[in-house]
Amino acid sequence: MNTQPDQSASYNKKVPWILHGIVTVVILLIAFLVITGMFSSKPEAQRWGGARPAPSVGVDVADLSIQDYPVWIDSYGTTKPLTETVLVADVNGKVVEVSPNIRTGKRFSKGEVLVQLDNRDFVVEVDIAAAAAAEAEVRYLQELAESELAAQQWNKPPETEAAQLLSLRKPQVAAAKASLRAANARLERAKLNLDRTTIRAPFDGKVLEQMVDVGQVINPSQSIAEIYSTEAVEVRLPVKVADLAYLSIDDSSENMDNLPRVVLSGELGNQTYEWTGKIVRSEGAFDPATRMLYLVAQIDNPFTSTEQRPAVRIGQFMRAKVQGDTLENVFVIPRRAVSQDFVVAVVDEGLLKKRRVQPLWTDAGSVVVSAGAPSSQTLAANSADVIRSSIQNLRNTDKLILTPTANLPDGTRVKAIAPMTESEPDTQSIVGSKQSSEDSANAAAPSTTAAQ
């Protein structure tokens, strides 16, 4: 029987695997004990001078100062002439001559002859009317002389008034006088029609479109040219309802010095040029489509070119900055230092403190905040109770943080980094002196909105 040797061979094969397993478990156990001992016997770190404070975060800061801020409201529009008309003929006739200045785009002066019609027929009419007037004058003088002669010949005046009038030829004198006046009127009309064959410019201006030329026969009231005055141009500027609160416009005022100033800019080629004007009036009704009110700006002498700017073109698109009221005793904060929900950060004893503010005016470059306590009217304008309760005042001594702080919690230790220079306008201190309206116009942002 082979059974015993087979069992012995099977047993000999299992023994090495069992030993390997035991050795592996022993090694893992020893390694675990060694690692545990190393961590449990780690020397405790010694602390010197107490707990170490959290590191400070470097931020750009600027000094807050109270100042006055002139508001500039952004708008846009297209230039159009102050006076635009269609030149028409008063009489019929054939065009025999046109001025070179009646061509489209040409400039002309007041009283300049633009079109000459054939006037020979009208010269004849003047001669005929003059002859008729002369004959009427002769008849009048004859009747006047006969009336005086009749008065001398009558020794006894007639008994009735009618007989007296006829005897003195007074009705005949009156009829002759009326005929003379009618003849003179026909003569004046003939002269007027003759003068109308010469069509002159009614004002200094330019031609938009020429409609007649030499050889053409025209009728009364027929259009000759479309012209416009070069005295001034107007620009209609839409303004939002919210921005009207910052404008003082008196349509009845005749003093041009009190009218709001407007700075208009337009592009010609690759260059941007500026023109200055005045808001001369506002239109009487809101646009039903846009719910905006249109202001009308006027530019005087717009077609005079200078070294600084070329002449204005009719139909040219203009961007405008309208001078508004001046906000007094306010803080002007750079727009990048204010979050979307109008929260700013200041340095308070080395710590970051976030404060929610209520803006009076905002634009793309600045947020204007009152330097005084928020009024009840200002607070009531915001319906969110949580915002009303969290509005805090800024102080003149606060250091405004310009660096974005959205990821920094309130109370973070901060410190000012490299000093600001004038070459870095975004990080320089906010100057406390009052700025002139001219400087503010040049520094105004492209889009302006009133704070609600």
And the tokens for 45?
């770190």
pLDDT at 23: 74
Residue type, 295: L
- Lowest-pLDDT choice from 177-191, 200-214, 345-359: 345-359
Residues 81-107: tens digit of each pLDDT: 999 999 999 999 999 999 999 999 999
67-80+231-450 is classed CATH 3.30.230.10: no
For residue 445, what pLDDT band results from cuts at 50, 70 and 90? very low
Taking the C-alpha atoms of residue 63 and residue 266, their distance in angstroms, rounded to an integer, is 36
Strands (E), 60-172: 61-63, 67-81, 84-88, 93-98, 107-108, 113-117
∠ CA 259-290-277, nearest 5°, is 20
Taking the C-alpha atoms of residue 160 and residue 17, their distance in angstroms, rounded to an integer, is 172
∠ CA 283-287-291, nearest 5°, is 120
Taking the C-alpha atoms of residue 132 and residue 182, their distance in angstroms, rounded to an integer, is 10
Residue type, 19: L
Strands (E), 250-309: 261-268, 271-282, 293-300
pLDDT at 20: 72
From 64, 70, 66, select the one nearest 433 (Cα to Cα). Answer: 66
**Higher per-residue confidence, 24 vs 201:** 201
DSSP 8-state code for residue 90: S
| Integer CA distances (angstroms), 226 to 92, 103, 238, 311, in order | 19, 10, 27, 20
**The pLDDT of residue 388 is above 60:** no
pLDDT at 379: 39
And the tokens for 88?
């028409």
What fold characterizes domain 84-117+198-230?
A: OB fold (Dihydrolipoamide Acetyltransferase, E2P) (2.40.50)
**The pLDDT of residue 404 is above 60:** yes
- Lowest-pLDDT choice from 123-137, 266-280, 311-325, 391-405: 391-405
**The pLDDT of residue 200 is above 80:** yes
Query: 26: how many CB neighbours lie within 10 A of its CB?
Result: 10
**The pLDDT of residue 389 is above 60:** no
For residue 204, what pLDDT band results from cuts at 50, 70 and 90? very high
Residues 166-175: tens digit of each pLDDT: 556 777 888 8
Residues 352-385: tens digit of each pLDDT: 889 888 899 988 889 999 886 554 434 344 433 4
Taking the C-alpha atoms of residue 335 and residue 365, their distance in angstroms, rounded to an integer, is 5
HSE, side-chain direction, 13 A CA sphere, residue 314: 19
Taking the C-alpha atoms of residue 325 and residue 323, their distance in angstroms, rounded to an integer, is 7
Q: Edge-to-edge, what's the strand order for the sheet holding 205-210?
A: 84-88, 223-229, 205-210, 107-108
pLDDT at 430: 37
pLDDT at 352: 86
Taking the C-alpha atoms of residue 74 and residue 443, their distance in angstroms, rounded to an integer, is 12
**The pLDDT of residue 213 is above 60:** yes
Residues 29-73: tens digit of each pLDDT: 787 777 776 666 555 555 555 555 667 888 888 888 889 999 999
- Lowest-pLDDT choice from 20-29, 89-98, 434-443: 434-443
**The pLDDT of residue 155 is above 80:** no
**Higher per-residue confidence, 51 vs 20:** 20
pLDDT at 376: 42
- Lowest-pLDDT choice from 11-25, 155-169, 195-209, 241-255: 155-169
**The pLDDT of residue 428 is above 70:** no
pLDDT at 64: 87
